Amino acid sequence: MAKAESLQGSIDLLVLKILSRRSRLHGYAIMTAIQNISGEVLRVEEGSLYPALHRMEEAGWIRAEWATKDNGRRTRIYELTASGKKQLGQEESRWESVAAAINRVLREA
Partner 1 sequence: MSLWTRLANVFRGEQLNREIDEELSAHLEQAIASGRDPHEARMSLGSPLRLREHSRDARLVGWIVDFMQDVRYALRTLRRRPGFAAVALLTLALGSGATTVMFTVVNGVMLRPLPYAEPQRLVTLREKTQEATIYGNLWALAYPNYLDCKRDAKTLDLAAWRYFVGTAIVSGEAEYASGRQISSDLFSVLGVPVAQGRDFLPEDDRLGAAPVIILGHSFWQRRFGANSSAIGKPVILDGKSFTVVGIAPANFRLDGEEPDEFTPLGQDNSESLQRRDRHPGINAVARLRPGATLNEARAELGLIAAHLSEQYPQTNSGRGFLVESLHPDVGDVGPTLWLLLGAVILVLLIACANVASLLLARAISRERELAMRVALGAGRIRLIRQGLTESAVLGVIGGTLGVLIASLGVRPFVAYWPGTLPRAEEVQLDWRVLAFAVGISLFSGLLFGLAPALRAPTKNVEQILRAAARSLLGSSRRLHNGFVIAEIALAVVLLVAAAMLGRTILRLSSLDPGLNVRNVLVTRLAIAPSIVEPAQIRAAWQDVLAQARRVPGVESAALVDTVPMREGNNEVAYWMSATLPPVSQQPLALATSVTPDYLKVMQIPLLNGRFIDDHDRRGSELVVVIDDVLAKTAFGDADAVGKSLWLPDSASPFSSGPHGADVVRVVGVVGHVRHWGLAGDDQSQVRAQFYYPFAQVPDPLLRRWSELMSVAVRTTINPMNVLATLRREVRGATGDQVLYEVHTMEQLVSDSLARQRFLLLLFSVFAGLSLLLACIGIYGVLAYLTTQRVPEIGIRMTLGASPSAVTWLVLRQSLGMISGGVAVGAVAAMAAGRVLQHMVEGMQPIALSTFAIVLPMLVLAALLASYLPARRASRIDPMSALRQE
Out of 21, 22, 24, 54, which residue is the one contacting partner 1 (CB under 8 A)? 54
Give 50 or 99: the residue with its C-beta nearer to partner 1. Answer: 50
User: Binding of partner 1 at residue 74 (CB under 8 A)?
Assistant: yes
User: Binding of partner 1 at residue 76 (CB under 8 A)?
Assistant: yes
Out of 5, 39, 40, 47, which residue is the one contacting partner 1 (CB under 8 A)? 47
Name residues whose C-beta falls within 8 Å of residue 104's C-beta, 6 or more positions apart in sequence.
Answer: none
Please, are residues 62 and 81 in contact by the beta-carbon 8 Å criterion? Answer: yes
User: Binding of partner 1 at residue 40 (CB under 8 A)?
Assistant: no
